[in-house]
Amino acid sequence: MNERLDGISVFVDVAEAGSFALAAQRLGVTRSAVGKIIARLEQRLGVRLFVRTTRRHNLTEDGQIYYERCLRALAELEAAEEAFEGGKREPSGRLRISVPVLFGRHCIAPVMLRLMQRFPSLQIEMSFNDRVADLLEEGYDLAVRIGTLPDTGKLVARRLGVQRMGICASPDYLARHGFPSHREDFARHTGIAYSSAGRVAPWQLQGVSGQKEEIKVDCRLLLDDLQAITDATVAGAGLAWLPCWMIWHELHNERLSLVMGADQLVATDIHVVWPHARHLPSKVRTAIDALVAEVPQMLGQGDGYVLDPAPRQQLGAGRN
């Protein structure tokens, strides 16, 4: 009976991972061990459960039917265990997270550090990378995404908050080049822009009717690192369009001045995402709850500095 249950659990893991190798990585066993378990299961059932390709293991029609019944059986077992535990299970094991580099460093790592200190049995592995990681292929439990989420049924998402933006410059730059009083004045200023893989991120204004309008700036300096952009802006190299969580300390210390506030610029949603699964492990559920509880507070820090420039600095829609 134990072998049957072990085989079912491994079968479901392979079906959800899409490959023997990834399932083996998640289970902490070898690929050959997973292959042998599936082979014994197929032999016992007398059916073929997977169609093997070079990269994927897709369920056959029989495999899909068996998978759905196994899910129901495992759900019953898990419900029985949770009823006995009474919610006392403490998060444990390794939690793998993929996060954007600077947002992860500023806003996610502190939350995970506090979580690790609360739960001594929890091990956290964070990957800082601005590319969009494939959670299923790379074995991540969670990822934090900034921007529009693709329409996929393989991931579940919870909103963490909004990334507001601000256009800023150093007081020295503004003293030398003047303050842009109207929207068209930006075209006469030097900009420092974020550029990745040949694509320059546009500076977007929220129009009065809700439409997005692009602000035209002569961006002579293109960088693929937000910290480098912030440093260049403080050094007086030009105007920059930066996340408010990134610049509010600089605004508070008067190393930067706000040219256009967050209420006038297009904001971007931030989500935590994870692979759809029949059962959410305690470590994943606890991490999601911590992010949902704490990240919005970090995004709201410095609101008094980033929502609006001083009244004399308000921008008009155009010259009269």
- Reported as a single tens digit per residue, the pLDDT across 237-255 is 999 999 989 898 899 899 9
Residue 316 has pLDDT above 50, yes or no: no
* pLDDT at res. 151: 64
User: DSSP string of 154-195?
Assistant: TEEEEEEEEE-EEEEE-HHHHHHH----BGGGGGGSEEEEEE
* pLDDT at res. 153: 65
Based on its alpha-carbon atoms, the radius of gyration of the chain, rounded to whole angstroms, reads 25
User: DSSP string of 100-112?
Assistant: -HHHIIIIIHHHH
Residue 308, C-beta contacts closer than 8 angstroms, at least 6 positions apart: 258, 261, 263, 314
DSSP H stretches of helix in the chain:
2-17, 20-27, 31-45, 61-85, 101-103, 109-118, 135-138, 171-177, 226-234, 244-252, 282-300, 303-306
Q: Annotate 210-242 with three-state secondary structure.
A: CCEEECCCEEEEEECCHHHHHHHHHCCCCEEEE
Q: How confident is the model at residue 212 (pLDDT cuts 50, 70, 90)?
A: confident
> Of 118, 122, 162, 121, which is closest to residue 142 (Cα–Cα)?
122
Residue 121 has pLDDT above 70, yes or no: yes
Residue 58 has pLDDT above 60, yes or no: yes
- Read off the tokens for 311: 């009244």
Q: How confident is the model at residue 262 (pLDDT cuts 50, 70, 90)?
A: confident
Spatial distance between the Cα atoms of 7 and 32, rounded to a whole number of angstroms: 14
Residue 292 has pLDDT above 80, yes or no: yes
* pLDDT at res. 290: 94
- Side-chain-side CA neighbours of residue 147 (13 Å): 9
The mean-pLDDT minimum among 68-82, 154-168, 217-231 falls in: 68-82
- Side-chain-side CA neighbours of residue 250 (13 Å): 25
Length reported for the chain: 320
Spatial distance between the Cα atoms of 171 and 152, rounded to a whole number of angstroms: 45
Spatial distance between the Cα atoms of 45 and 61, rounded to a whole number of angstroms: 14
Give the domains, in start order, of the chain with CATH numbers: 2-85 (1.10.10.10), 93-160+268-300 (3.40.190.10), 165-267+303-313 (3.40.190.10)
CB 17, CB 38: distance < 8 Å: no
Residue 12 has pLDDT above 90, yes or no: no
* pLDDT at res. 315: 44
The mean-pLDDT minimum among 55-64, 86-95, 280-289 falls in: 86-95
Residue 150, C-beta contacts closer than 8 angstroms, at least 6 positions apart: none
Mean model confidence pLDDT for the chain: 84
- pLDDT mean over 195-200: 83
CB 121, CB 90: distance < 8 Å: yes
- pLDDT mean over 191-204: 87
Spatial distance between the Cα atoms of 208 and 138, rounded to a whole number of angstroms: 43
Q: What confidence tens digit (pLDDT) does each residue in 17-36 have?
A: 888 888 887 777 888 888 89
